[in-house]
Amino acid sequence: MFDRVIGIIPAHLESIRLPRKPLRPICGIPMIAWVYHRARRSHELSQLLVATDSKEIFAYCRENGIEATMTSTRHRSGTERVLEVMAQQSSAGRATSLFVNIQGDEPMVTPEHIALLVRPFREDPSTCVSTLKVAISAGQAQDPNNVKVVTDGQGRALYFSRAPIPLQREGAGAAPYYKHLGLYAYSAAALGKFQSFPPSTLEQTERLEQLRFLENGIPITVVETSGDTIGVDTEEDLNRVEEYFRRTGATLSGDDRSRRR
């Protein structure tokens, strides 16, 4: 059983499709603050911090009471930032065996999402990696921005793809489509193995780093959620999240900013 659960929010300032993405405002508040304070509501996390290579993001976090750490500018992915934080924790002598990767462009994350990520590790200590899926329509499955996932009978991932999977051949039935939500929990052992493997062929083909786990025989447990999110990659996504927050009256109240544990 793990001793501590560390939530890590990787944040990179420059994005090709949406420059300065983490600091772009949603209802007047930078997106990184929405991600942090919504994740902070979780009872599962022993610690939550932003991992960034941007001095500007780091300064914003420090000025606004958000725990943050600087990471290398050489990282190519959020997982690599998580790995650096794991190394920092180890160097500091902190006993931790479970890390939760909360993407910095997921402002609709909820405590329920985090609880679902952690649950497989509590139920089965041999769990290596967990992530989430949500049912989507056939029309939504055609969008390559929605990463799809198919699983086996025990809820383990068989494959992730930007293509609509499974392929619905004429007269073959109506298997459901599931969108993958880009939130993960990893054991320290699984992260260490990930780091030791070079980028895999399928990972590079699909541009989906989670395929590196599968190609090297590391199982990923996929838990279904009814809580869809809008991962922010474009201006349109940002506007959709803002419209959702305004419609639902979302706020960052004092309770959101207080530690629960």
Q: Which pair of structure tokens corresponds to residue 187? A: 């054991």
CATH code for position 204: 3.90.550.10
pLDDT at 259 over 80: no
CA distance 166 to 156: 15
Q: 260 falls in which pLDDT band (50, 70, 90)?
A: very low
260 belongs to a structural domain: no
257 belongs to a structural domain: no
Are residue 115 and residue 215 in the same domain, yes or no? Answer: yes
Digit-coded pLDDT (tens) for 45-95: 999 999 999 999 999 999 999 999 999 888 878 888 899 999 888 776 676
Residue with tokens 């900013």: 257
The range of the structural domain enclosing residue 207 comes to 110-228
Mean pLDDT (whole number) for 118-143:
95
| pLDDT the model gives residue 3 | 82
Residue with tokens 């993001």: 57
Burial class (CB in 10 A: 0-12, 13-18, 19+), 202: middle
Digit-coded pLDDT (tens) for 15-49: 778 899 999 999 999 999 999 999 999 999 999 99
Are residue 143 and residue 222 in the same domain, yes or no? Answer: yes
Taken as a whole, the chain contains a residue count of 261
Are residue 88 and residue 183 in the same domain, yes or no? Answer: no
Total count of domains within the chain: 2
What Å distances lie between residue 49 and 66, 68, 199, 210, 222, CA to CA?
Answer: 7, 5, 26, 22, 24
| pLDDT the model gives residue 78 | 80
| pLDDT the model gives residue 254 | 45
CA distance 1 to 45: 15
189 belongs to a structural domain: yes
Residue with tokens 């725990």: 67
Digit-coded pLDDT (tens) for 99-115: 999 999 999 999 999 99
Are residue 235 and residue 211 in the same domain, yes or no? Answer: no
Q: Which pair of structure tokens corresponds to residue 70? A: 């600087």
Question: Can you list the alpha helix ranges (DSSP code H) found in 124-260?
Answer: 138-141, 188-196, 201-206, 211-215, 235-248, 254-257
pLDDT at 258 over 60: no
Digit-coded pLDDT (tens) for 154-202: 999 999 999 999 988 775 567 899 999 999 999 999 999 999 999 999 9
140 belongs to a structural domain: yes
Are residue 139 and residue 101 in the same domain, yes or no? Answer: no
Q: CB-based contacts of 41: which residues, under 8 Å, 6+ apart?
A: 110, 111, 255, 256, 260
